[in-house]
Amino acid sequence: MTKYYRYNWCDMQEIDQTFDLIDLTEFLDVYAVFVSEGIPLVIRKTFISISGHGCRMSGYLNESEHKYILSFLLDVMGSLANVAEINLSQKDRYMRWYELLDKLYLRLRQKPVAYDDKPAR
Is pLDDT larger for residue 24 or for residue 53? 24
Q: How far is CA 35 from CA 23, 42, 56, 118, in A?
A: 13, 10, 25, 30
pTM score of the predicted model = 0.86
Residue 75 has pLDDT above 90, yes or no: yes
Nearest to 61 by CA among 108, 10, 117: 108
